[in-house]
Structure formats: structure tokens, C-alpha cells
């Protein structure tokens, strides 16, 4: 039961963080095409005031709950090494921890990234994490079927 609750919280927090990245990269950046520079700056800041209150906290919750879920599903390492499920999960965990580390540094310590300053790189990482999740699910179900 605890696993299900934490998994549900994880999914919601990931939806909030990933949803913002999707919205920012696919829609908010397009506002520049129909608004003047000043209007775009005002509109973006009006949205970001609210985003800054929710999205960083959702990212932290996603990292904490994801860390717990990792410990619950990783399993034992077989003598022949990591399974493809464990490899994909490890890559997902690394990317998630990197996003969390980057977000915590920005929000709590005011440390801005030296490279990849836009939201495009985190957006790409979230897409990679989504694909890895699907790969893991397909691989895991094929293991269970055997």
C-alpha cells in the first residue's frame, strides 16, 4: 500500500514538472511570434510567478519519491550482471537525480547552470526518461511472461 501511495505521488509530481517543461518548450516559446518583446516578457513573468511556487517543489518530491521507488524495484544483481531493466532504471535514476540536483541548486542556492541554461535540455531529458520508462515496462513484462 505504501508503495502505491508513493508511486501515485511520484507520478503526479512528475506530471507537474514534465508538464511545465512541455508547456514552456512547445507553447510559451511560441508566444514570441505573436507578442512584442515587452509583451512576451510580461506574459512569461506573469506565468512564471506561479510556476516558481509549484514546479520546483514538484521536482523535489519527484526526486525523493523516485529514490524510494528505485530502492523498491531495483532488485538483486544477478551473477551475470545487471538486467536490461536495471540498466534502464539506473539511467533513469541518474537523469532524474541530475535534474533534481540542477533544480535544487537553482531554487535554493541561486546557482544557475553554466551550460544548457534554457529549459530545452531538461525537456529532452524528461522525454528520454519517458522512453526509458516504456522500454522498462516492455522489458519487464516480457521477463514476467517467461
Dump pLDDT digits (tens) for 57-108.
Answer: 999 999 999 999 999 999 899 898 888 888 889 999 999 999 998 888 877 7
* Structural domain count, the chain: 1
How many other CB atoms sit within 10 Å of the CB of residue 131? 12
Question: Taking the model in full, what pTM does it have?
Answer: 0.82
Residue-wise pLDDT tens digits, 5-64: 999 999 999 999 999 999 988 888 888 889 998 998 899 899 989 988 899 899 999 999
The answer to whether residue 139 scores a pLDDT higher than 70 is: no
For residue 25, the enclosing domain spans 2-145
Q: What is the mean pLDDT of residues 128-137?
A: 85
Beta carbons within 8 Å of 98's beta carbon, 6+ residues apart: 125
User: What pLDDT, on a 0 to 100 scale, did the predictor assign at position 97?
Assistant: 94
User: What pLDDT, on a 0 to 100 scale, did the predictor assign at position 78?
Assistant: 87
Backbone angles phi, psi at 24, to 5 degrees: -65, -45
Amino acid at each position: 500500500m505504501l508503495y502505491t501511495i508513493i508511486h501515485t505521488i511520484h507520478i503526479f509530481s512528475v506530471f507537474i514538472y514534465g508538464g511545465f517543461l512541455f508547456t514552456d518548450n512547445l507553447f510559451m516559446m511560441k508566444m514570441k511570434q505573436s507578442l512584442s518583446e515587452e509583451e512576451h516578457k510580461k506574459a512569461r513573468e506573469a506565468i512564471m510567478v506561479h510556476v516558481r511556487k509549484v514546479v520546483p517543489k514538484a521536482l523535489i518530491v519527484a526526486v525523493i519519491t523516485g529514490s524510494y521507488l528505485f530502492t523498491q524495484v531495483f532488485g538483486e544483481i544477478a551473477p551475470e550482471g545487471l538486467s536490461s531493466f536495471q540498466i534502464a532504471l539506473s539511467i533513469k535514476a541518474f537523469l532524474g537525480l541530475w535534474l533534481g540536483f540542477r533544480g535544487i541548486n537553482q531554487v535554493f542556492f541561486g546557482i544557475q547552470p553554466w551550460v544548457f541554461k534554457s529549459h530545452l535540455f531538461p525537456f529532452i531529458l524528461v522525454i528520454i526518461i519517458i522512453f526509458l520508462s516504456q522500454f522498462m515496462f516492455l522489458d519487464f513484462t516480457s521477463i514476467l511472461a517467461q
